[in-house]
Amino acid sequence: MKDLAIWVQTELAQQHELDHAAVVQRALAPRNLPQPPGFTVTAASAPAGAVSGDFHDVTLHDDQLRITLADVMGKGIGAGIIASAVRASMRTAPERSLLRTVSEIDAMLEHDVGDLHMFVTLFCGDLDTRTGEITYVDGGHSLSFILRADGSWEHLNSTGLPLAMGLDEPHGLGTARLNPGDALLSCSDGLLDLLDLDDPFGQVEQVLAQFGIEGAVQEAMRIAVAAKAVDDVTVVVVRRDS
């Protein structure tokens, strides 16, 4: 009975720590997304467990909207700790260029966790809200698209390897443009498990048409929870309305 009591106490303590970690992570998630004039910004994340290895962030500095989505390999507390470190590094010195920011985070991760054989895929873009011009770095993420006003899709190609790969290959910059009526969509690979892979774009278009931009993101989160998704699911959408 004594051993059983110790085991129960240990389990309860571990669950309490896990619950507290989840509360802290939710507190760090952006709650009031910037809404520049002429744009609609929405985003959400649903962890597969208590703590997510995904993170997203959207910040506005002058006329530049910085959009970030990162996915740490793996799930749980370990991945969540690395995700928090990447988020904190992205928030430090926001005046840094995208390339310098990603390069410094890549070096930090390789130094700190390179021997753990974990890596991070990342999309980070700066959107000029005056012109709609986007410059971005895609570190092996390759899950960002522009849905054009005419219904066509444009894939934003990867510009380098995932972070912490240790191969010392520099990332490049990609460019795109959001015209009125266009929307930038970025997601983590957990969303792919929820889509009809025979026609994923058609399914996304149908959900957008039915629920609108904000409703579509919440619908993705609802499906992830209802389906008990085995991977973290994160979606960020930025639409240029005018």
Is residue 204, in this structure, part of any structural domain at all?
A: yes
The larger pLDDT score, comparing residue 83 to residue 143, is at 143
Is residue 65, in this structure, part of any structural domain at all?
A: yes
Domains identified in the chain, total number:
1
- Structure token pair of residue 138: 């895609």
- Structure token pair of residue 133: 């011009």
Distance CA 238, CA 33 (A): 11
Instruction: Return the H-helix or E-strand segment holding 138.
Output: strand 133-139
pLDDT at 27: 57
Is residue 12, in this structure, part of any structural domain at all?
A: no
Place of tokens 């054989």: 117
133 pLDDT band, cuts 50/70/90, is very high
Is residue 18, in this structure, part of any structural domain at all?
A: no
Phi, psi of 140 (to 5 degrees): 65, 15
Instruction: Return the H-helix or E-strand segment holding 25.
Output: helix 2-28
Q: Which of 14, 26, 142 shows the shortest CA–CA distance to 84?
A: 26
pLDDT at 169: 85
Is residue 28, in this structure, part of any structural domain at all?
A: no
Cβ-proximal residues to 80 (8 Å cutoff; 6+ apart), any chain: 21, 25, 51, 52, 53, 72
CA atoms within 13 A on the CB side of 54: 25
Q: What average pLDDT does range 125-140 have in this prediction?
A: 97
First-last CA distance in the chain? 68
pTM, two decimals, is: 0.87
- 195-193-198-137 Cα dihedral, nearest 10 degrees: 80
Distance CA 212, CA 238 (A): 12
Is residue 20, in this structure, part of any structural domain at all?
A: no
Is residue 32, in this structure, part of any structural domain at all?
A: no
239 pairs with which residues across the strands?
A: 40, 183
Report yes or no: 36 and 207 within 8 Å, Cβ to Cβ: no
Give pLDDT tens digits for 86-103. Answer: 888 888 777 789 999 999
Give pLDDT tens digits for 162-202. Answer: 999 877 789 999 999 999 999 999 999 999 999 988 899 99
| Owning domain of residue 197 | 39-240
Is residue 1, in this structure, part of any structural domain at all?
A: no
Report yes or no: 162 and 119 within 8 Å, Cβ to Cβ: yes
Which domain CATH number covers 144? 3.60.40.10
- Structure token pair of residue 165: 């790969």
Report yes or no: 120 and 165 within 8 Å, Cβ to Cβ: no
Report yes or no: 120 and 109 within 8 Å, Cβ to Cβ: yes
